[in-house]
Amino acid sequence: MKILITGCNGQLGNEMQLLEKVNPQHTYFNTDVAELDITDQQAVEAFVSENEIDGIVNCAAYTAVDKAEANEELARLLNATAPGYLAKAVGDRGGWMIQVSTDYVFDGTKYKPYVETDPVCPNSVYGSTKLEGEESVMKGCENTMIIRTAWLYSTFGNNFVKTMIRLGNEKPELGVIFDQIGTPTYARDLAVAIFEAINQGVKPGIYHFSNEGVISWYDFTKAIHRIAGITTCHVRPLHTEEYPTPANRPHYSVLDKTKIKQTYSLEIPYWEESLAECIGVLMAQQ
């Protein structure tokens, strides 16, 4: 197959490129904004047509959650409008699309892991525009797989894990929120799941994916510091109210992964195992 990967300079896009090497049976077109402006509908249609694209994995998004509150138009363009262009272009060719979405489509008021059929109720611009993106890709391409994920991190780009390692080495004390609960997702593991879907055949629908287990941001930070060998930084638990942000964040965003595990016979790693793997790579790079 000829597969277009968008957002290739991001966390997930970089992990996808690494895994392309062990999935050489396909031809890949790795693009970011310099190679293809996905907000330009004519450019998208021309690229997909000229390169005879069979499938698209859209890793591109506006992910600055707090900045999105003041930049709603740009967030909507990247998170909703552009994915619609991609979906229509590949859908017109009878192809498939995988759209990466987010736990922010929920408001986080539940107390049991979210399943794919739970009512959506975003309470931030980021969550709202990502939900609009889900709707636009399903409308544009009937063979669409939406994968909602949460708390994404990797060895690439800026993310919570790398920030906590840096701050842990710089500061004697940190305050981290303890009353927001979820599950981290190592982008490498998500990329592995996406390739399983590609190779087994994209089965349309909404799926949830994160690593296994449940944790707070505070406990996540403690684990990051322990695995990274940081012993000089004291981490204090904070209430959400003590750390106000422009965007609302879900208090509970644990995702139930049963559907994707059963559909693709996936074994998903426990969050701490994947965290240790990621930090091992980061430390080897130093």
Active site residues: 126
Burial per residue of 247-266, b for 16 or more beta-carbon CB atoms within 10 angstroms, e otherwise: bbbbbbbbbebebbbeebee
Please tell me the distance from the alpha carbon of residue 17 to that of residue 29, in angstroms, as a whole number: 10
Q: Which CA distances in Å does 87 have to 29, 190, 255?
A: 16, 21, 25
**Taking the CB of residue 27, how many other CB atoms lie within 10 A of it?**
13
Q: Which CA distances in Å does 284 have to 84, 192, 238, 278, 281?
A: 40, 22, 32, 10, 5
185's tokens: 């997702």
The continuous run of DSSP H or E covering 3 comes out as: strand 2-6
Please tell me the distance from the alpha carbon of residue 91 to that of residue 142, in angstroms, as a whole number: 7
Please tell me the distance from the alpha carbon of residue 214 to that of residue 106, in angstroms, as a whole number: 17
Q: CA torsion, points 186, 130, 107, 260, in degrees to nearest 10?
A: -50
Burial of 43 (0-12, 13-18, 19+ CB in 10 A): middle
Please tell me the distance from the alpha carbon of residue 22 to that of residue 39, in angstroms, as a whole number: 31
Crossing angle for the helix pair 125-140 and 82-91, to the nearest 10 degrees: 10
Contact indicator for 87, 26 with CB cutoff of 8 Å: no
